[in-house]
Amino acid sequence: MSVSDIDQVAVENLQDYLRIRTVQPNINYDECITYLQNQASALGLPVKVYEVVHKKPVLVMTWEGQEPSLPSILLNSHMDVVPVFEKSWTYPPFEAKIVDGVVYGRGVQDMKSVAIQYLETIRRLKNKGITLKRTIHLSFVPDEEIGGAKGMGKFVESEHYKKLNVGFALDEGIASPTDDYIVFNAERSIWHVTVICPGKSGHGSLLLPDNCGEKMRYIIDKFMDLRQESKKKLEDNPQLTIGDVTTVNLTMLEGGIQNNVVPEKLSASFDMRLALSVDFNEFENMIKNWCKEAGANVTYQFEQKDDYVPPTPVNDSNPYWVAFKTAIEKLKIPLQLRTFPGGTDSRYVRKAGAPALGFSPIRRTPPGLHEHNESLQVSVFLEGIRSYEEIVPAVANS
């Protein structure tokens, strides 16, 4: 098969994958699983499907290495995508239409293109007769876009995962708008907290004591002051990126029954991503003290409270990092190292004990995760496959 033919197969496989509507919420993954099973069959790879959580399948393809007893390499991707507002798209989000060399589709950056790049890399390596020292596992997991707790989160706790003997993992990154590639060796920890401010209810014409609105103002001011501190850190130091600071956003306000009734309770929810430098105990104690200072009976509760997960080492102590970095240098592509600003399934892999890097070989491309008209140049997609042709053997033979 010629280079142009194998490239055409890769693009068509990407389009086919993008056309599968694995849209949150309440996804039926059957069509996606069937598609991936067919891909595994075409590549001659054994495949298994695990349902650690009912209707949350994890599919794993395996390319056995020359020394299968060694720790393996995991190439992970998630099957689900976020919802779309179809009226806001120039082209239908599930047609995978190519216009002027650009493919448009929900999930093309996040992260179905990466999944196909993995598959097409294996196809090309096998076609060249290449064999690798370590076993490669390709995992396709559900529900990353809603936190991954019932996807990769449960899978890494299972015996199925433990039997994979994962030594190192690659997962999603973010597109780079420059000539550089961006790689992520860590993630901030996600805390979603709701603060509940109770008070005396009564007529809206009065100045009642124990007022929930006054308490809420104090709480919001404290969180917004913290937000301002992080904004100032970024403004004062251009070397910092969003992943280097703690972000705070007020995301929900609830309470009240009508305009002339002082409510008995108001609540505010905050999305926080804690920087690696944060002491978690001190941070929670700070929130606890704010609640005490705000007034009587103010409480808080967590909807999500991630543990601290240490970064993947990026020095000579980590042979996988050395191999990855050497492969990128061979490609003569500059590399930026960062902390991931959001949350990915990498955190579960790291927490389970394996080093992991977040990396999408997409450059010269504005990041379009979760946006209308999510798109990717076909040439950039194909370049990513060629990059993986260097990276995968490098880490698998390390």
**Among candidates 69, 71, 73, which has minimal Cα distance to 61?**
73
CA distance 223 to 133: 51
CA distance 230 to 213: 26
Are 198 and 264 in contact by the 8 Å Cβ rule? The answer is yes
Rounded to 5 degrees, φ, ψ at 355 are -65, 145
Are 74 and 161 in contact by the 8 Å Cβ rule? The answer is no
Give the sign of the dihedral formed by CA 316, CA 239, CA 170, CA 51: positive
Active-site choice (7, 144, 172, 244): 144
Whether residue 80 lies in the annotated active site? yes
Active-site choice (80, 110, 120, 374): 80
Structure-token pair, residue 300: 């808080």
Whether residue 95 lies in the annotated active site? no
Residues in the chain: 398
Q: State the catalytic residues.
A: 80, 144
